[in-house]
Amino acid sequence: MTTMAADAGAYEAVFDAALAADERIEPRDWMPDAYRASLVRQMAQHAHSEIIGMQPEANWITRAPSLRRKAILMAKVQDEAGHGLYLYSAAETLGTSRDELLDKLHTGRQKYSSIFNYPTLTWADVGAIGWLVDGAAITNQVPLCRCSYGPYARAMVRICKEESFHQRQGYELLLALSKGTEAQHAMAQDAVDRWWWPSLMMFGPPDDASAHSAQSMAWKIKRHSNDELRQRFVDICVPQAESLGLTLPDPDLRWNEERGHHDFGAIDWNEFHEVLRGNGPCNAQRISQRRRAHEEGAWVREAAAAYAAKHGEEQS
């Protein structure tokens, strides 16, 4: 799209026409301030989630029960750092910087996905995160590959490929446990029991209580409502749980012939809001570890900057 139009109204008309024609908005195109702000908010939150999301899984790297599983987990945590890097770069095309966004994360002015405020208590949690949490993330993120903002959409294409791989690995980990010894099976079931409801909460508040949804859909940042995506996720998970030989912790879960979907029980929105408010099991721990890594690394970043200034090296 062109930015040669004469006044604000004309710019807006060009922007609206591009959206209507399903064209991509690119960094140098004119865009409404609110569109820009909304994208920065969403992309930053997404990047932060990748970075904070490394913690619950990295918690098990040193205790992984086989060398093969350890290699898979290390590769996954490395991918997450890489996803964080793509997403911060994509957000930077909107005129912000990684430092600024990290500062907002560290001071609690920007959020990350509430799911990462739950603890990983057993090895099976690594599998449950892969299957359920990455599964929910993919359901959310695949439509973002068609999001109206070009750099975000392109980042998501790459990220979704790697995430689907992680999700299959998580499923395979749980399957090995489920078909293993009695103790391993029990470990897998316990993990699914603890991660199921928090995973459903990853789709955000119900449609009638979602503050940003309508506008995001009008801007074609979002393509489906929270409740639609949540339903799609439940429908995908039920047969997968069956083939895993595990149950989902919801007595109200059943197939509804009329709707052609699974009905499921009520989500505890009170818990969801408590976690968002900072009162989840690991909120304080996650942020303080992130802040500590940043603060303890300050002298390293200063050294790199000083060296670059002396030697004209590209700063890394």
Partner 1 sequence: MVLSHRLGEWAGHAPVLEEEVALANIALDLLGQARVLLSLAGDEDELAYLREERAFRNVQLVEQPNGDFAHTIARQLYFSTYQELLYERLARGGGPFAPLAAKAVKEVAYHRDHAEHWTLRLGDGTAESHERMRVALESLWRFTGELFEPVEGCEVEWDTLHTAWLARLTSVLERATLAVPEGPRRGAWAAGAGRQGVHTESFGRMLAEMQHLHRSHPGATW
116 contributes a contact to partner 1 by CB under 8 A: no
Query: Of the two residues 284 and 304, which places its CB atom closer to partner 1 in the complex?
Result: 304
CA-CA distance, 158 to 150, in Å (whole number)?
13
**Axis-axis angle for helices 150-178, 226-244 (nearest 10):** 30
Site string for partner 1, 68-107 (x = CB under 8 A): xxxx--xx-xx--xx-xx--x---------x---------
21 contributes a contact to partner 1 by CB under 8 A: no
Residue 276 CB, nearest approach to partner 1 (Å): 22
281 contributes a contact to partner 1 by CB under 8 A: no
63 contributes a contact to partner 1 by CB under 8 A: yes
The 10 Å CB-count burial string (b at 16+, else e) for 90-107 is bbbbbebebeebbebbbe
Q: Which one-letter DSSP state was computed for residue 25? A: B
121 contributes a contact to partner 1 by CB under 8 A: no
Site string for partner 1, 229-268 (x = CB under 8 A): ----------------------------------------
Site string for partner 1, 124-163 (x = CB under 8 A): ----------------------------------------
Query: Of the two residues 17 and 306, which places its CB atom closer to partner 1 in the complex?
Result: 306
Other CB atoms within 10 A of residue 25 CB: 25
Residue tagged 């801007």 (tokens)? 219
Nearest to 190 by CA among 128, 107, 139, 146: 128
* Residue from 9, 181, 252, 314 in contact with partner 1 (CB under 8 A): 181
Supply 183's token pair.
């103790």
296 contributes a contact to partner 1 by CB under 8 A: yes
* Residue from 146, 254, 273, 301 in contact with partner 1 (CB under 8 A): 301
Please report which helix (H) or strand (E) contains residue 270, including its range.
Answer: helix 269-274
312 contributes a contact to partner 1 by CB under 8 A: no
Max distance between CA atoms of the chain, in angstroms, equals 71
Sequential DSSP letters for 194-225: HHHHHHHHTT-S-GGG-SSHHHHHHTTS--S-
